Structure 1
Amino acid sequence: MVDKEVVLTLKGLKKIEDELEHLKTVRRKEVAERIKQAIAFGDISENSEYDEAKNEQAQMEERIMKLEGMLKKARVIDEDDINLDQVSIGTTVQVEDIEFDEIVEYTIVGSAEADPYELKISNESPVGRALLGKKIGDTVEVQIPDGVTTYKVLKIEKGEIDG
């Protein structure tokens, strides 16, 4: 796998740092205590509590390694570097869905921060990729799972990217 840069907003960086800190300081102790309790039950060869705790520990350590790797490759978007002349990472873009005649706002973020439920879309997603570099008034056709949709860029603002 090619190690690629992880683009984060300041808010996204803080979220990852907070999760990593919680895993290292709180969850590690909790899981270690569960393992200790499971060992106290006796024979670990047929001890489902022990197996569960060890699996949880492995998953947690894998997540810690992933977060640490993301932080090593992180590039934080500086709010001062955001150009409002075109859609870029860190901007919130208001678009009109031509087919459904509805207006939607997306904040363009790096893939590590994408959260469709908060309308934060990745710069690598089909919609995010299609919108990058577009200016107010531009229209763009995007291949989505249901077919092709057309968006018109109405407004570009700085997204909520600070801590």
Structure 2
Amino acid sequence: MSTIPLTVAGAEALRKELHDMKTIHRPAVIAAIAEARAHGDLSENAEYDAAKEKQGFIEGRIAELESKLSSAQIINPALINADGACVFGATVELEDLQSSEVVTYQIVGDDEANIKDGKISISSPISRALIGKYAGDIAEVHAPSGIREYEILDVKYI
């Protein structure tokens, strides 16, 4: 089994979701199944079918979260000593050379990625172009809209 890179914050978010699934969602669906079962004939009971389907989703998600956490390699970006290189966990400030727009992204695991929060997946085209580069370097990103160039302004490990 391969390891899944996660930041400390990403691992904590998965642990919280797992806890909520086990302590809130699982008991709620069990209660819904019991209530639907009390209505009688299960062959024509839409509430029972819906509750069983939801239970299947919850149990599947619990198994997925447990698997990810058991194979996670948790990386604390603050403890990284990469001598200024763009690596997993780094927060990178970039300037789009075409539009002069400055953006800041943190390179995180696939499960943590959220562009609205400035977190990009390690497997995204922009991350792949940044890995191994330093402040002052130019990164060519092969995006669906064509090649875009970004200058790396700063690399932080926070």
* TM-score, structure 1 as length reference: 0.92
How many pairs are equivalent? 157
1:82 and 1:88 in contact (8 A); partners too: no
User: In structure 2, the residue corresponding to 1:141 is in which secondary structure?
Assistant: strand
Q: CA deviation at 1:56?
A: 0.5
Are 2:120 and 1:132 aligned? no
The one-letter amino acid of 1:39's match is R
Find the aligned partners of 2:90 and 2:9 in 1 and give their Cα distance.
13
- 1:82 to partner: Cα distance: 3.9
2:17 aligned partner: 19
Give 1:112's aligned residue: 111
Q: Report 1 or 2 for greater relative contact order, CA contacts < 8 Å, sequence distance ≥ 6.
A: 1
d(CA) in 1 for partners of 2:113, 2:83: 20
Cα distance 1:49–1:84, how it changes in 2: closer, same or farther (>3 A)?
farther
User: 2:42 maps to which residue?
Assistant: 44
1:146 CA displacement = 1.4
Residue 84 of structure 1 deviates from its aligned partner by 4.6
Could you say if the C-alpha distance between residues 102 and 52 of structure 1 is closer, same or farther in structure 2, counting changes exceeding 3 Å?
Answer: same
Q: What's the CA shift string for 1:57-100, capped at 9, x where partnerless? A: 00111100000000111101133124251111111100001111
Unaligned runs of 5+ residues in structure 2 are none
User: What's the counterpart of residue 56 of structure 2?
Assistant: 58
Q: Show CA shifts across 1:31-78 (max 9, x none).
A: 001111111111111111111111110011110000000011110113
Q: How far apart, CA to CA, are the structure 2 residues paired with 1:58 and 1:121?
A: 30
TM-score with structure 2 setting the length: 0.95
- Unaligned residue ranges in structure 1 (runs of 5+): none
Counterpart secondary structure, 1:107: strand
Asked if structure 2 preserves the Cα contact closer than 8 Å seen for 1:109 and 1:122, the reply is yes
SS at structure 2 position matched to 1:111:
coil
Letter in 2 for 1:17: R
Q: Give the equivalent residue in structure 1 for 2:86.
A: 87
User: Relative to structure 2, which stretch is displaced further, 49-58 or 79-88?
Assistant: 79-88
Q: Residue 105 of structure 1: SS of its match in structure 2?
A: strand
Could you say if the C-alpha distance between residues 92 and 84 of structure 1 is closer, same or farther in structure 2, counting changes exceeding 3 Å? farther
Using the aligned pairs only, state the percent identity.
Answer: 39
Superposition RMSD in Å: 1.1
